[in-house]
Amino acid sequence: MTRIEILDELKKVFAPYTTNKEMLNSINDDTDLIRDLKINSANLVDIIIDAEAKYNIEIDYDSADKIINVGTCIDVIMEKLNQNK
């Protein structure tokens, strides 16, 4: 999968958890999940669980700790997908 494909799918994953729906349409690698999308820290766990299910991957604690913005989220997903090959 490409970064753009993952980004498009992540918009759907983030949608139920963000209160900033307008920002969701224009997210990029630098979009901060908490500050920009207004996703609370408890919902970050839900997003990780949703991403694991969607991509059939396992995101360990160290990888989850890296997820602070959209770019790092995509990086972690791509890394895990490549490990599954």
- Buried-exposed string 61-71: b where 16+ CB fall within 10 A, e elsewhere: eebbeebebbb
For residue 18, which amino acid is it? T
CA distances from 71 to 16, 45, 75, 77 (A): 19, 17, 6, 10
Residue 18 has what pLDDT?
92
CA distance 55 to 19: 24
pLDDT per residue as tens, the chain (85 positions): 899 999 999 999 999 999 888 888 899 999 999 999 999 989 999 999 999 999 999 999 999 999 999 999 999 999 999 987 6
State the CATH number of the domain containing residue 73. 1.10.1200.10
| Sign of the C-alpha dihedral computed for residues 60, 53, 9 and 1 taken in this order | positive
pTM over 0.75: yes
Which range of residues forms the domain containing residue 34?
3-83
Residue 85 has what pLDDT?
67
Domain count, the chain: 1
